[in-house]
Structure 1
């Protein structure tokens, strides 16, 4: 099902931030093992940013430094690197964008588009201003926002600290208090990938006629991208509960992190046209039922995986409820045993990106209504890693 773009977005008045219920993405998985690893399937072509040099995937890494780059962020959710080295960060409940300079200075984005974005965003539960992706030319921002009617993708030009008028890219994505997806990423093929949640309507996840519970692949104008499984549809994969992380490995595999319900969170390798099993099952079904099994599963209390980043040596996954950064080593055609980093040190972790120098930017998520707020929250951290020697 294709959703034609609306070339101009009419603002709607956003609602005030409301409290988030605790029964959101995941529940306890008492007695379940921390994680398990399965064999992956092949994905699309792509590249990744260099990370810590680890010639042996079995070699663990250690955190050698954590630096606070910025603090006082208001429910940060997504981030993207601009050509001039600044980071653009979305603030979910306020419906605002801030820019973080290399020196850590935080500047709020203004302009017509910023005003329209605040009016458009209807923050409720897990919904609000979510993902951001910097366009291929570096001039446009692509943004995922929950409105009073739906979730939608919009775009606008950023000039310095001023956002121009919003243009519609994709609308009609089902929205709810929980399971809104929201991650945006440009793939190595130059097309825009959009993650959606099932919006609480689990039966819609495998339905090819619904945009819920999917990963979508579209042009910058919002049309189905050439090469999609169904040429007339933006759907790239289906059967997802709530995907909030996307990234590509050097060998072309496309990874996505997904929230489970009561037992298992997942790291998946995404293949075009793949059905990832929700709501029939969460985690590995243990049998060939025609769905794609995850390559890693975690007990929900250990993960609740949100954003991810891929380097040339590992997938790094930010965990909310698990309050840690998971490292999943990349092997030849597979993945290694997951390693937990930063366990409990900074609270909930919402997103992770690779900095140009190979360090990791990590966003905390303690002000999202489910965390224990610490003085200075929320933060953007710079994390330096190195292989463990000896």
Structure 2
């Protein structure tokens, strides 16, 4: 892995801008969201010291409205403070701004260097913790040689289609494949960048702590291994994963991640630094004390999970092959009641769910990714009210 600092030109551009304006998707083939959001995003977590309450065993989901339609292979989602949304297209390698009120779409531009194929392409996006001043968008994508993380200035003053600055590569060398490219990125409450990776179809990478495949990585915004990581000098935060697709933090700043199983069990995991989550020796729960067991597990036809978000005391998990939204009520890092399924089969494959503040969520469908059955209006973004 390599990292390079932002160039002087990029830094100067950011300064001027500041002065001017404020799957595998199925189980057999197989965040972003941060509930404790950085500056520049819409949602925020309760204070760490807030009293922790167990949510009711049964919850509810109401589709408030369809925010936008006609999206092609949407993958990552980043809410802005004004209520608008940035969404990435996996196959077109573009980032589009969606007006949160009208659904009007404005293309920011195409991200150069993306090589879409299979499950790879332009995947997760996240806003810089200093977005209000630096206007940086981070993106995880598949190139011709690897998966990598880049950052780009978003300049709203330029014409549509030309608003993205040249990408600056902050981290590279994540294994790529036709399957299991991971792709979810999110800034945590500690303002560090977390990235979920896949083992690219090479199962041996997951248990290899020297490999970046099948891991959750923790980086500084500049792409260095973050201070306090469990393995000195390494970006690896947890290992033994198959294909991490969702990242979210609860109100106590605890990290959770969703993960594709192979033929038997998909997982929701509570992530601990340095912990081994078992793949390929274990799929789902195991009697081996060397591996950390999932919070919950599902058959692959019920889930094949992608994005997750935290709201109203529960993790909400989007299902691709399962075509449903799962609610997992929490007490600490354990489920406090059986998971509930909502919207089963109503909107097809569900890719990304993101906190929208309070009891609201954004939900992105994924029927134009080559594995769904697109209907008129697909793909779309929905606004949900949950409890």
Structure-1-length-normalised TM-score:
0.84
Question: Using the alignment, how far apart are the partners of 1:133 and 1:98 within structure 2?
Answer: 13
Aligned residues of 2:25 and 2:321 also touching (Cα < 8 A): no
Please provide the CA RMSD for this pair.
2.1
Aligned residues of 2:25 and 2:304 also touching (Cα < 8 A): no
Give the match's secondary structure for 2:204. helix
Q: Runs (4+) of structure 1 moved beyond 6 Å?
A: none
Q: Which residue of 1 aligns with 2:141?
A: 145
Question: Using the alignment, how far apart are the partners of 1:109 and 1:224 within structure 2?
Answer: 30
Question: Using the alignment, how far apart are the partners of 1:56 and 1:209 within structure 2?
Answer: 39
Aligned residues of 1:5 and 1:223 also touching (Cα < 8 A): no
Q: Give the alignment of 1:131-170 within 5 angstroms.
A: 131-138=124-131, 139-160=135-156, 162-170=163-171
Q: Which residue of 1 aligns with 2:84?
A: 86
Question: Using the alignment, how far apart are the partners of 1:385 and 1:131 within structure 2?
Answer: 24
Q: Which residue of 1 aligns with 2:296?
A: 296
Aligned CA distance change for structure 1 residues 195 and 23 (closer, same or farther; 3 Å): closer
How many aligned residue pairs are there?
346
Aligned residues of 1:63 and 1:341 also touching (Cα < 8 A): yes
Question: Displacement of 1:59 after TM fit?
Answer: 3.4
Deviation per CA, 1:278-325: give whole Å up to 9, x if none.
11111001x133111111000100000000001241000000000000
Deviation per CA, 1:245-303: give whole Å up to 9, x if none.
00111123210000000000000000000110011111001x13311111100010000
Question: Using the alignment, how far apart are the partners of 2:365 and 2:93 within structure 1?
Answer: 18
Aligned CA distance change for structure 1 residues 57 and 312 (closer, same or farther; 3 Å): closer
Question: Displacement of 1:56 after TM fit?
Answer: 5.5
Q: Which residue of 2 aligns with 1:343?
A: 344
Question: Displacement of 1:65 after TM fit?
Answer: 3.2
Question: Using the alignment, how far apart are the partners of 2:76 and 2:332 within structure 1?
Answer: 30
Q: Give the alignment of 1:56-95 within 5 angstroms.
A: 57-95=55-93
Q: Which residue of 2 aligns with 1:322?
A: 322
Q: Which residue of 1 aligns with 2:105?
A: 106
Point out where structure 2 has 5 or more consecutive residues left out of the alignment: 8-22, 30-34, 38-43, 47-51
Aligned CA distance change for structure 1 residues 24 and 80 (closer, same or farther; 3 Å): closer
Aligned residues of 1:25 and 1:260 also touching (Cα < 8 A): no
Does 2:95 match 1:97?
Answer: yes
